[in-house]
């Protein structure tokens, strides 16, 4: 794995040596990190009405509540709420998949900067003391070359001017990828898979927990649980994308419509 300070130095040197380029296409841009058409597609779902608890889509006429929405109200989470950039769909979903490659480091930073640009008011409104990325297992991080969630967390920590605690959490065991699983299998897959390292500064702190995608909330909740058990006062989650709702819409909404038509 390339050490974080070296990666940052390489990026800074590259920005001095080369003109601004779109992090997605590599084409020259006058300013910013994405070409205008790419940026527009990445932000297609950024303005949707969101649940404050799980970051999911809610109806345009509903008032967001920290008590949750119809999809999460009965779920028990160890975190306070979720802030997201957009839906795990279209170009944003493809970008997240691309950033998980070793060559995706620059794209990961660009997506994190876009997340900050769109959600900075919400992020600044939370009195967090530090930023903590959801960790990979050592094998996964070695295979990929880096942890994309740590890059996202690094950018947010820089923008918020608060500490980054990249080793506050660790995975106690390897777990199969969550995207292959559904429902209770997701929960059991990551149950007790995280442990907070002994850090005096965790006690009483409000933590910003960072991951790439939030689907069922199992990974985020188990990570938050480890931090809370280590003494953290509160945990808020921030992600690039909210997944899982396409499955809900495809499987449940048609059944509701069928009942109404009958």
Given a cut of 80, whether residue 2 has pLDDT beyond it is no
The residues near 225 (Cβ < 8 Å, ≥ 6 apart) are: 78, 194
Measured on CA atoms in the order 169, 173, 174, 180, is the torsion positive or negative?
negative
Q: What pLDDT score does 18 carry?
A: 60
Determine the length of the chain: 262
Stretch among 29-43, 107-121, 147-161 having the lowest mean pLDDT: 29-43
**pLDDT digit string, tens, across residues 52-111:** 999 999 988 888 888 899 889 889 999 999 999 999 999 999 999 999 888 899 999 999
pTM attached to this predicted model: 0.83
Cα–Cα distance measured from residue 233 to residue 229, given in angstroms and rounded to the nearest whole number: 9
Greater confidence, 1 or 216? Answer: 216
Q: Write down all domains in the chain, each with its CATH number in brackets.
A: 4-261 (3.40.50.2020)
């Amino acid at each position: 794995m390339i050490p974080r300070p070296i990666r940052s130095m390489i990026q800074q040197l590259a920005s001095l040596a080369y003109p601004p380029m779109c992090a997605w296409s590599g084409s020259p841009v006058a300013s910013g990190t994405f070409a205008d058409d790419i940026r527009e597609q990445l932000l297609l779902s950024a303005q949707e009405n969101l649940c404050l608890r799980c970051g999911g889509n809610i109806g345009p006429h509903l008032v967001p509540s920290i008590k949750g929405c119809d999809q999460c109200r009965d779920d028990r989470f160890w975190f306070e709420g979720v802030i997201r950039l957009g839906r795990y769909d279209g170009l944003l979903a493809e970008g997240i998949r691309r950033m998980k490659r070793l060559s995706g480091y620059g794209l990961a930073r660009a997506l994190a900067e876009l997340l900050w640009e769109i959600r900075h008011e919400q992020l600044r409104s939370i009195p967090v003391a530090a930023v903590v990325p959801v960790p990979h297992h050592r094998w996964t991080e070695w295979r990929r070359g880096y942890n994309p969630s740590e890059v996202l967390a690094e950018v947010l920590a820089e923008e918020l001017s608060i500490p980054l605690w990249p080793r506050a959490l660790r995975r106690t065991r390897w777990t199969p990828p969550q995207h292959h699983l559904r429902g209770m299998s997701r929960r059991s897959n990551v149950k007790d898979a995280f442990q907070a390292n002994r850090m005096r500064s965790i006690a009483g702190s409000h933590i910003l927990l960072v991951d790439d995608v939030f689907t069922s909330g199992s990974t985020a909740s188990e990570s938050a649980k480890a931090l809370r058990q280590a003494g953290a006062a509160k945990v808020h989650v921030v992600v690039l994308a909210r997944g899982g709702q396409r499955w809900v819409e495809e499987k449940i909404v048609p059944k509701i419509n069928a009942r109404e038509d009958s």
